[in-house]
Structure 1
Amino acid sequence: MARRRLTLGDTLDVPRAEHAPAAPSPALSLSPSAPIARVAAEAAGAAALQELTETVARARDSGRMILDLPLDAIAPDHLARDRLPVEDAEMASLRESIRLHGQRTPIEVTPLVSEGRAGALPYGLISGWRRLAALKALHAEAGEPRFATVQALVRRPETAADAYVTMVEENEIRLGLSHYERARVAALATARGVFPTEDGALRALFATASRPKRSRIRAFLEIFHALDDTLRFPAHLPERLGLALVERLRAGEAPRIAAALAAADPATPEAELAALTALLAAPRPAPVTETLAPGLALETRLKGRTLTLRLQGEAVTPALAERIRALLAQL
């Protein structure tokens, strides 16, 4: 059979299947958004978001995240403050620093909502009273939004005692407390039931202090109890003058000291210190002598922790001495 030559323009009548490209098998077709891949991606994204949320929550709750809190969301009197609120050069300098550069160090707060107190603010202040007060003063003065919030770390102390320890340690590190402020916070925390005794408060709040230092703070407790309502600038009371004042208080001179300070009416720390110095430089009052009976006089002298009772006269006999010993034994 003769073969036919193909010329230009001829066509071949070949079955279509021989030339059409093979259609891909449905089983091998991969969609760009296959269900399994999409589900896996969504699950991974959700897990990552959950992990990030938990990490942020842990950082916030453990005090490793700085929050911007409204000023009126914080109760400044949550703890009895250790540092006495005074307007001094340091406070003015702090306000000016925040005005120019903003708040550089966060305060520390603790959540109060969990305490279930009616009308309680969301947070209670632990440390940073001066920074909070400076921001409040700046916001009241200028009304600028940048002063309407405070940078804060959220702490969760296990007990109220831990919160007091945190507050005291922060202030001791930053500026240091006066002996009067140390004694005052120990007394107020004990009065609030945080510590069972003032001695226990001193040991807990100033655990790293030496025994002599705690003894001196304990002496200033006597000044707090006797003259807290009288002294106007007690945080400025130096140690030596304070200890001399304690000796006079132990000698029963509290009423005389209070009256003298009221008469002096000091308007500045320097004026109050001058009045106290003059009081302590004055001669000690003479021992009190009174007649108890004919031929029997009693002289009383109180110096520090020593009470001296001296009986004189014809009525002083061995029998009287035995009676007095018996009476003292009943004490």
Structure 2
Amino acid sequence: MASAITETADAARGRAEAEAAIRAENDELAHEHVRLKKLGLITDLIAIDAVRTSKLVRDRGKGRDPELEELKVSIQDIGLSNPIRVEQDGQGGYELIQGFRRLSAFRELLEQTGDQRYARIPAAMVPRGEPVRDLYRKMVDENLVRKDISFGEMAQLALNYAQHTGIKPHDAVSELYASALKQKRSYIRSFTRVLERAKGKIRHPETIPRALGLELFKIIDATRSWGMS
């Protein structure tokens, strides 16, 4: 009898220890999941219809992206190697942080082919509630490696960001393009001054060559020095 009671107690203790070990492992996995999510390393397939692009003003020109067709062919051949980055909006949807071109490619492929493979897109989740400044920096830092992004586009984004946050355009350039070379930031500031002076009359700032933009800035700067409006 005593032996049976001892065996029962040992079995109960063994089960309790096993359950405690499982709970500890689950807690560890949960903490690791949270850590990876904060780093944007958790990816999932999400519906493209659930992704909005309204939170951040994009730095893309309004015209047709000349490299979009090439990206679509690549996606059809080998898939998407670099997931977009999104923030959950708390209502079952997502706000796009990075990957406007990739999202556009998936949307066009779905529309053109009807293939449901393109109805969902690989996405990395960024934590909700990150400061707007940090979200803009994520978008900008990724796009700085693009060879085709123009100074007009970068300047327009700086002006949009300045309006969004209430800071001066000069400071907006410093914040957004902190990782850019000093000379590049100087060019962007020159273009922001040109766009400010134009007051929205330049419809396609992305088409302005660097040399022309800098020349326009010199003219604007000279008229200001002469006291002309």
TM-score (norm 2): 0.83
1:119-168 CA-partner distances (Å, limit 9, x unpaired): x6632211111111111111122232211112122223741111111111
Residue 197, structure 1, aligned to residue 168, structure 2 = yes
Partner residue, 2:155: 183
Partner residue in 2 for 1:27: 3
Q: How many corresponding residue pairs?
A: 225
Relative contact order, CA 8 A, sep 6+: which one is greater? 2
Q: 1:209 to 1:101 in 2, by over 3 A?
A: closer
What is the alpha-carbon root mean square deviation over aligned residues? Answer: 2.8
CA separation in 1, counterparts of 2:118 and 2:210?
38
Please state if 1:110 is matched with 2:29.
Answer: no
Q: Which runs of 5+ in 1 are unaligned?
A: 1-24, 114-119, 252-302, 310-331
Deviations 1:271-329 (A, max 9, x none): xxxxxxxxxxxxxxxxxxxxxxxxxxxxxxxx5434379xxxxxxxxxxxxxxxxxxxx
TM-superposed deviation, 1:69: 1.7
SS in 2 for 1:220: helix
- SS for the counterpart of 2:67 is helix
Pair 218,149 (structure 1): closer, same or farther in 2 beyond 3 Å: same
Gaps of 5+ in 2: none
Which residue of structure 1 aligns with residue 140 of structure 2?
A: 168
Residues 1:176 and 1:159: Cα distance change in structure 2 (over 3 Å): farther
- Cα distance, 1:58 vs. partner? 2.8
Q: Which residue of 2 aligns with 1:152?
A: 123
Query: Alpha carbons of 1:232 and 1:200: their partners in 2 closer, same or farther (altered >3 Å)?
Result: closer
Q: Secondary structure of the residue that 1:34 maps to in structure 2?
A: helix
The correspondence of residues 260-279 of structure 1 with structure 2, limited to 5 A, is none
Change in CA separation of 1:85 and 1:146 when aligned onto 2, cut-off 3 Å = farther
Between Structure 1 and Structure 2, which shows a larger proportion of helix residues?
A: 2
Q: Residues 71 and 105 of structure 2 are in contact (CA less than 8 Å); yes or no, is this contact kept in structure 1?
A: yes
Matches within 5 A, 1:74-113: 74-113=51-90
2:101 pairs, out of 130, 148, 162, with 130
Closer, same or farther in 2 for the Cα pair 1:49/1:105, shift >3 Å?
same
Q: 1:43, 1:95 → 2: CA distance?
A: 50
In the superposition, the TM-score normalised over structure 1's length comes to 0.60
Counterpart Cα distance in 2 of 1:221 and 1:89 = 24
**8 Å contact from structure 1 (residues 109, 125) kept in 2:** yes
Tell me the equivalent position of 1:72: 49
**Percent of paired sites with the same residue:** 31
Task: Give the distance between the partners of 1:121 and 1:220, measured in 2 at CA.
Answer: 39
Q: Would the alpha carbon gap of residues 27 and 52 (structure 1) be closer, same or farther in structure 2, given more than 3 Å must change?
A: same
Q: Is the 8 A contact 2:106 2:118 kept in 1?
A: yes
Q: Which amino acid aligns with 1:112?
A: D
Alpha-carbon separation, structure 2, partners of 1:231 and 1:96: 33
Q: CA deviation at 1:30?
A: 4.5
1:236 corresponds in structure 2 to 207
